[in-house]
Amino acid sequence: MQGEATESKGVTDSIENRRIFVLGFNASHQLLLRRSGDFSNRWELSIVGGAEEGETAEEAAARIAGPELNPVFIEEFASETGENISLFFATLAEGFAEESDDSGFFSIAEIRLGLAEAPETFAPEVAAVIGRIDPHLVRIPYLEKGPHEYNYSFRPERQRNRSVYQIDQDSARLYQSELCQAIKEIKRVNERRSTTPTALDFGAVSYIVPSHFGFCLGVQNAIERAYECLAENPGRRVYLLSELIHNPFVNEDLTARGLRCLQTDRGEPLIDPETGVGYWDQLKKDDVVIIPAFGATDEDKVRLIEKGISINQYDATCMLVEKVWKAAQRFGRAGYTVIIHGKAEHEETKGTFSNASKAAPSLIVRDRHEAEQLAAVIRAIDPAEKRKLFETFVGKHTPGFDVERDLDRIAVVNQTTLLRNETLRIIEFLEEVLAEKFGQENLDYHLNSNSKGDTLCYATQVNQDALEQTLEMDLDFAIVAGGKNSSNTYQLYRMCKERLDSRAFYIQSEKNILSADRILHDPFSPGGVEEELDGTEERKFLSETDQPVRILLTGGASCPDGILQQIIFRINSFFPPEKIRPVREILDELDQIV
């Protein structure tokens, strides 16, 4: 778990030959070094010392570091000179040390470059520790965090920074909607209607809006932090690790304000068109990087840490995504192999896999079809057959995965944006397979029952539940709005398609509504056996439908309210003005419900 210390053995032997190295890092994960003070004037570690008689390594480190620091044990090793080294990391409080001619903060990348180009400028112990810390770098941002602490919790309503949605006219049009706000106010204050769809009756056309739709708290948190970051860092280069959320209009608005993405949502590096240099390659330690709501893999975090760029300050990882990571590591430490129901190419699933694999063998299963392929591996008796069947999961499991050992005990976590019922069906199916193989009486040992629904995102779930209730009504069409690569939006569309078939549309904005006659249905096509490819096409829309028209309208968790309102205005424009009631009348009716 991030932030947990590895326990040392409290070694007290060979005291005269034991050295304590405490590596002190500032908030940007840069290492504090000092000048040696002798003729060599080399850079050396700033917090070092020896263990005294009767001291454990931890006690020695605490004494050497002083009361201001809380050293975390990392490992023990023998140096080239034969010394026994106990290595610790510590987080330095702001102002603990100032840069001067005699001390300074260096990124790991700077130290490595210096060791390669001018090794004589560094003391031998610097080279010794830099050569050993790679497996531990990702721990640096989390030294002060316990296993149950989150980087950011969701802000309560009173702490929400709504001013970021009103920067200018463009942002207000994108993010604000009087209609959507009125619907959400009904849900907030009227308990009897908290799950009831809301009808916006404009006369010739009515919009049936589920009780829960649009931005979830994780997305709100990410957007607010991104705009705050821009405001707090004038004159500095600000980057996004990848798309902040899966909505092109939000990402385009941030790009217009100066943000750039280091890589695509598939992890492909992006190139600066002005310099021809990749954004990753031009990162400096004074730059700012925002981690998106989906989180980041340890590999990407380590790249930022090495460059001396703060991870924590602008980490917008959704709290519920982080909850999945913590659950995966908890299951792994309990001896279970972690099965991740998710899409291997999705940023969130990559982050979950990265975190789970630190604690246990881990495997990604995309859908029920792949769950059945996994079941075939579990059922197979012959080891060679097991390995052959397992080849279908190449690239989706941790290195060294042992099919004869690592599928005996499993726990399932999920990508939070998928359909809840699909995750539950996969768990129940694997439950049957394990009961068949090991006996029902032994099932609790072989399948962690706490994984059943433990990592499902409630925000995604309530949107799905609200939509399911709305789909029971009499409807002419359903419009689901969201980014083409938004997984949770696609799941909402799948639900609508099952009920309304070709009268269900997936669009990104009002621009997809070409006319009263035609609409551009434009969904993301993620593939997979259970995900029918459903590509872009023009479809018939309003022209052959009797009035009044009833349209279900909802948005994915990354769809701004302003887009939903613009969709309403666009459709209303196709009817004669005298047949469309004024927005003010609709708002007054909603106020009466509250």
Residues labelled as active-site residues: 348
Would strands 410-414 and 504-507 be described as parallel, antiparallel, or unpaired? unpaired
C-alpha distance across the termini of the chain, in Å: 45
Q: Is 497 helix (H, G, I), strand (E, B) or coil?
A: helix
Q: What is the rounded CA–CA span in Å between residue 337 and residue 390? A: 15
- Strands, E, within 348-439: which ranges? 362-365, 410-414
Q: Report the largest interatomic distance among the alpha carbons of the chain, rounded to a whole angstrom.
A: 93
Contact 262, 279 (CB under 8 A): yes
Q: What is the rounded CA–CA span in Å between residue 19 and residue 17? A: 7
Which residue, 110, 73, 90, is CA-closest to 24? 90
Q: What residue has token string 């930022």? A: 304
Q: What is the rounded CA–CA span in Å between residue 98 and residue 435? A: 62
The torsion angles phi and psi of 24, rounded to 5 degrees, stand at -95, 125
Tell me how crowded residue 559 is: count the other CB atoms within 10 A of its CB. 30
Tell me how crowded residue 37 is: count the other CB atoms within 10 A of its CB. 10
**What sign results for the dihedral spanned by CA atoms 73, 78, 79, 82?**
positive
Contact 97, 65 (CB under 8 A): no
The torsion angles phi and psi of 337, rounded to 5 degrees, stand at -80, 140
Share of the chain residues as helix, strand and coil, in percent rounded to the nearest 5: 40, 20, 40
C-alpha distances in Å from residue 576, one per residue of 108, 202, 206, 516, 568:
66, 12, 15, 12, 15
Q: To 5 degrees, how large is the angle CA 129–CA 131–CA 137? A: 80
